[in-house]
Amino acid sequence: MTASQTAAVAPHEVTREAGRRRTFAVISHPDAGKSTLTEALALHAKVLTSAGAVHGKGGRRGVTSDWLEMEQARGISITSAALQFGYGDTVINLLDTPGHSDFSEDTYRVLSAVDSAVMLLDAAKGLEPQTLKLFDVCRHRGIPVITFINKWDRPGRDALDLCDELSERINLQAMPLTWPVGEAGHFRGALDVRTGGMVRYQRTAGGATVAPETHLDAEQASTEEGAGWEQAREESELLISSGGEFDIERFSDATATPVLFGAAVLNFGVRQLLDLLVELAPRPNRRLDAGGAPRELDSPFSAFVFKVQTGMDRSHRDQIAFARVCSGRFERGMTVTNATTGRPFATKYVQQVFGQQRSTLDVAYPGDVIGLVNATALRVGDTLYLDRPPVRFPGLPSFAPSHFAVVRPRDLGRAKQFRKGVDQLASEGVVQVLRSDRRGDATPVFAVVGPMQFDVATHRLDVEFGVPVTLDRLQYSVVRRLVEPAHRSLIDSSGRGEVLTRTDGAELALFTDEVALGVITRQHPELGVEHLVAGTD
C-alpha cells in the first residue's frame, strides 16, 4: 500500500469512526464476575446467542483467552485478548486483563491501551486488594472509571456503605446513576437516578438470555414496590445531596465515578452499563507521542504494541502482536515502519481475535486493536506508523520485580534452543531477563513481579522450545536502578547484593532486603541508585 492510497481516506471518516469506538477494560479482583460480565455484555450486544460461550469456567467450553494448557488447569486467565462487538451504532472494544495479581505488569500494559475502565466490585466484598492495585494504575494514568457493583442478587453489604468505601479508601466520589430497589439478596430492579423512574428486572432461565425490563414511573414504583422503593429513593438522594451529583467533568478527570448496581449472572443492569459506556465513556482521543506532542486522530496510521502473545493457535505456534490503533485508518496489506528499528513491517496477516475464532481484519480505526500475526520482529512498546514524519509513542514501563531466579537448561546440549526461548520470553515481557559477566551469559536470571510468572516461563520453555529448565531462587527481594555505573563494584563486592543488566540495557542492583541496602548506603553515601517505581520505571 502506498502513501497516495492512504491519502484518499477522508479525514472526517477517521474522526467519525473513532467517535463510534469505546475501548475499555474491566478491572476487578478474581471472582468478582469479570468473565460473567464480559459474557453478559457480549450477549446484550447479540454477539453470542446465549451467555457462556465466551469464557469458560466450571466445564463451559470456549474461552477468549485461555489458550495455554496451564491456564486451563489453573482456571485463571493469564493472557490478554480483545473482544470487539457492535452495540447499536457503537463499536465496543473490550480488552481482557489477566485476573491474577502476579500478572499486574501485563495488566498495566493493557490499561495503557484503553480509554476508560469498568471497576467491578462484588457487593458482598467491596474493594479488594487486586481491585485497589488496578485502580491505582487507572488513577496514575488518569483513566476515567465507571463502577459496577455486582452480585446484588445475593446477600451483601449496604449500598451506601459500599459507596462510602470508595470515597474513604480511594478518595473517589461515588455518583450513583442507578440505585438498587430491594436490599442485596432481594434485587427487584433499579431506580434510574436521571429519569426518577424504576427499571424492574425479570429473571430468565440460567441468565442465558437478556433479562426483560419493565419501566415504571416514580408513582407506580412507589405503589408497587412500597418500602423498597422509598428506601432506594432516600438513600440515593442522601448520597447525591452529599456530593454525589453526577458531573461529567469529575468523571473525565477521574476524581469521581458513576456507580451502577447489577447482577451480571442474571444480566441485570448490564444494558444500563452498555448505554452508559456509549453515552459517557471517552472516545479515542489524540495520543501524546514520546516528545509530548499530540498525534491527531486523522494523521496517517499509527499504533503501538501493548501485548505480544505466542501460542494462541495450537495447530500453528505463532506469535501475535496486539497493537492499539492511535491514528488514521489501518488497512490490511499496508507496509508500516517500526519506529524502534526503523524497519518496514508488512501487515499482510492481520486478525481480530474473538474467543477461539479469528477473522481476518481488513480495516481498523483509532481505538481498535489489531492482532499482527507472525510478528516476531515486534516487541511490547513498539510504535508502528505509516508515512512521514515518524512518530514514536512513549514506551511501556516495566515493573520493579521482587522475585529472582537463576535459570539453567537441564540438558546442556540444548543451549541454543534455551537462548532462543529466553530471548522470546524477554521480548514478550513474560519475565524480565537479567545477565552479568560474573554469572555468565548462559545462566540468565529471571526477574518477576509475581512468582506465577516463573511457572508460565518454565512451562513455555519446556512445551514450546523443548527445553526443561531448573530454577534456583535467589534470596533477593529489593531492586534499585544503578545510575552510576562506576558504583557497580561497590555493590558486587559488598556480599549483600549484585548488579545485573536487563535486556533493555538497564543496570539493576539487587539486594537481599532493605536492611542490606541500608547498610551499603550508610557505608557509601555516594552510592548512585534510584527506585524503580511501579508504573514509572
Question: Whole-number minimum distance, CB 530 to ligand G4P, in Å?
Answer: 36
Cell of 30: 478474581
Residues making contact with ligand G4P (CB under 6 A): 28, 30-36, 57-58, 99, 150-151, 153-154, 263-265
Q: Which residue in the block uniquely carries the three cell numbers 481488513?
A: 362
Quote the CA–CA distance of 167 and 392 in Å, as a whole number: 37
Cell of 56: 469458560
Q: What is the DSSP letter of 380?
A: T
Q: Is 387 left (phi over 0), alpha (psi -120 to 50) or beta?
A: left
* Shorter beta-carbon distance to ligand G4P: residue 57 or 140: 57
Which residues, listed in sequence order, are joined to residue 265 by a DSSP beta bridge? none
Question: Whole-number minimum distance, CB 74 to ligand G4P, in Å?
Answer: 12
Q: First-to-last CA distance in the chain?
A: 37
User: In 41-108, where do the E strands start and end?
Assistant: 82-87, 90-95
Cell of 206: 440460567
Cβ neighbours for 303, distance < 8 A, ≥ 6 positions apart: 323, 324, 325, 326, 330, 370, 383, 384, 385
* Shorter beta-carbon distance to ligand G4P: residue 21 or 151: 151
* Shorter beta-carbon distance to ligand G4P: residue 32 or 137: 32
* Shorter beta-carbon distance to ligand G4P: residue 261 or 330: 261
Q: Which of 154, 167, 100 is nearest to 125 (CA)?
A: 154
Question: Whole-number minimum distance, CB 262 to ligand G4P, in Å?
Answer: 7
Question: Whole-number minimum distance, CB 122 to ligand G4P, in Å?
Answer: 8
Question: Whole-number minimum distance, CB 238 to ligand G4P, in Å?
Answer: 25
Question: Whole-number minimum distance, CB 31 to ligand G4P, in Å?
Answer: 4
Bond prior to 389 in cis (omega within 30° of 0): yes
Q: Which of 321, 295, 311 is nearest to 380 (CA)?
A: 321
Question: Whole-number minimum distance, CB 56 to ligand G4P, in Å?
Answer: 9
Cell of 422: 529466553
* Shorter beta-carbon distance to ligand G4P: residue 19 or 30: 30
Question: Whole-number minimum distance, CB 256 to ligand G4P, in Å?
Answer: 24
The whole-angstrom distance between residue 73's C-alpha and the CA centroid of its chain comes to: 22
Quote the CA–CA distance of 355 and 342 in Å, as a whole number: 33
* Shorter beta-carbon distance to ligand G4P: residue 33 or 371: 33
Question: Whole-number minimum distance, CB 28 to ligand G4P, in Å?
Answer: 5
Question: Whole-number minimum distance, CB 208 to ligand G4P, in Å?
Answer: 12
Triad 460, 307, 121: Cα angle to 5°: 100
* Shorter beta-carbon distance to ligand G4P: residue 55 or 295: 55
The per-residue DSSP string of 248-267 comes to HHHHHTTSEEEEEE-BGGGT
Which class for 315: exposed (0-12), middle (13-18), buried (19 or more C-beta within 10 A)?
exposed
* Shorter beta-carbon distance to ligand G4P: residue 221 or 263: 263
* Shorter beta-carbon distance to ligand G4P: residue 175 or 264: 264
Q: Which of 455, 510, 395 is nearest to 103 (CA)?
A: 455
Cell of 512: 537481599
Quote the CA–CA distance of 256 and 60 in Å, as a whole number: 37
* Shorter beta-carbon distance to ligand G4P: residue 153 or 235: 153
* Shorter beta-carbon distance to ligand G4P: residue 100 or 295: 100
Quote the CA–CA distance of 19 and 326 in Å, as a whole number: 13
Question: Whole-number minimum distance, CB 29 to ligand G4P, in Å?
Answer: 7
